[in-house]
Structure 1
């Protein structure tokens, strides 16, 4: 979008280029933000409608539509990141490399101008990122927050009512299901030792599907504490993430091994990205 000049910058030419690039960058982000607002204004009512009318308990039509919309927003984010790297960051490096050709007494002034330009562009990009995150949160919340806790407690109560009402297909002996399962599971008959397949209800399967979201709802207050802190406190994020995974593991204990691997990966990524 903004082509780098393949030349050394001199005096006023550098200042003109700084001014032009900053103006183009701001206009570019303004246009992206306007597109986001327009898209969200049209999408949020449709998302809500699809969610309400989707009879699939997994809400796959809604999820598919939501994923597509978030994908469009992330395309805008990726384009902005590309422009920032190629036409802001790379330009500053190139311009700084040309400074030795500028008269020495003015060198510090030009470096200061470049620094001011770089910070202004990065700060504008930070505002853009905040708007990106807000747009995504609007899409994700379009259907309204579900009461996952009540749905989970209802499934627990339903399981307690049926756990002792199964018979072995081989010998007819009574079988008690030891705990709630979320996928088809073999249960051994205590009398004849034959294997019986226990198939959970659709509601129980949904518990597995929604377990992380429920854990996030239970620990949302910890995430809000982290997000409200200025500056960000890594310990608050660690506390939130650990608590969220603990709740997740309580809801679906069969997933503990996989969840803990996921937890370690998220913590490693957080440490690397925040240079901790």
Structure 2
């Protein structure tokens, strides 16, 4: 197959191979997008029904359904990435290393075709990624976007009402809760040193569960600016990512250390995805 690169001055077979590779790549992404469209559009009414019928305050049935759908979308993304590496980038790497750099116009034609082929294939993949982002957002909003900000403010207000009403189980002394907690926490009585378990309300526990989603709502305008940039501006994405994690840490400060590790992983993955291009 790659013996075609040995033909120096007249190589119509190589030009035909480039065209066929591009057609197969485009058709492959078309099939993935059609499958994604069918799956997501069929899932939307089911998502709404599950969300409305789920009496669990954490909406875990709804969350599990979304997780499964996101998993299927991610499998499509992985298939596309694997095919891009094996059928597009591998083809280009072999061609550019084996095809001599001719001065002749005939040789330059092949280099120009490969350059255009590479750009067209990358641009088509970018469109595929944009559709993944669109369908992901559609699934996330299928049940209607929740007003997480109002809910969060309500939980802060509820905590203010009870923060000075907690008493020691041993001596009955009043214990002021210095900050809002989202999980059960040991509080030491300042009078008798007894360890008391402070259990936050169900609403406060839900804030921990929803913290990332609330942070994403607060920084959605930054993500939108990145997605609207043509070509994609990596600095805009990094600005969004940093701002989103900063908001997340403001909501649940105790998670800041773990969140920072998560931020570094996401930033690393984004940088690697750029380097592939």
Residue 61 and residue 15 in structure 1: after superposition, are their counterparts in 2 closer, same or farther (change >3 A)?
same
Segment drifting more, 144-153 vs 158-167 = 158-167
- Aligned-CA RMSD value: 2.7
SS of 2:4's equivalent in the other structure is coil
Q: Structure 1's 131 and 271: CA in aligned 2 closer, same or farther, altered over 3 A? A: closer
Q: What is the CA–CA distance in structure 1 between the aligned matches of 2:139 and 2:104, rounded to whole Å?
A: 53
Distance of aligned partners of 1:235 and 1:174 in 2 relative to their CA distance in 1, 3 Å threshold: same
- Per mean C-alpha deviation after superposition, the further-off stretch among 18-27 and 33-42 is 18-27
Distance 1:217 1:253 in 2: 18
Provide Cα deviations, 1:153-206, integer angstroms capped at 9, x if missing partner.
Answer: 111222222223332211222333222111111112222221111111111111
Say if 2:216 and 2:244, in contact at 8 Å, map to a contact too.
yes
Of the structure 1 ranges 158-167 and 24-33, higher mean CA displacement relative to structure 2 is found in 158-167
Residue number in structure 1 paired with 2:114: 114
Could you tell me which residue of structure 2 aligns to residue 73 of structure 1? 73
Compared with structure 1, are the counterparts of its residues 214 and 190 closer, same or farther at alpha carbon in structure 2 (3 Å cutoff)?
Answer: same
Counterpart in the other structure of 1:22:
22
- What is the aligned partner in structure 1 of residue 203 from structure 2? 203
Conservation of the 8 A alpha-carbon contact between 2:173 and 2:189: yes
Alpha carbons of structure 1 residues 85 and 194: separation in structure 2 relative to 1, 3 Å: same
User: Which residue, 4, 17, 33 being the options, matches 1:8?
Assistant: 4
Match of 2:243 in 1: 243
What TM-score do the two structures reach when normalised by structure 2?
0.85
Q: Which runs of 4+ in 1 moved over 4 A?
A: 100-105, 229-239, 264-275
Number of aligned residue pairs: give it: 271
Answer yes or no: is the 8 Å Cα contact 2:102–2:108 preserved in 1. no
Q: How does 1:87-106 map to 2 (within 5 A)?
A: 87-100=87-100, 106=106
Offset at 1:130?
Answer: 1.4
Task: Determine the C-alpha separation between the residues in 2 that align with 1:82 and 1:61.
Answer: 32
Counterpart contact for 2:187–2:198, Cα < 8 Å:
yes
8 Å CA contact retained: 2:211, 2:252 = yes
Aligned ranges for residues 170-209 of structure 1 at < 5 Å?
170-209=170-209
Report the equivalent of 2:142.
142
Structure 1: runs of 5 or more not aligned: none
Structure 2 SS opposite 1:8: helix
Of stretches 240-249 and 193-202 in structure 1, the one that deviates more from structure 2 is 240-249
Deviation, 1:215, is: 2.1
Tell me how far 1:256 sits from its aligned partner.
2.9
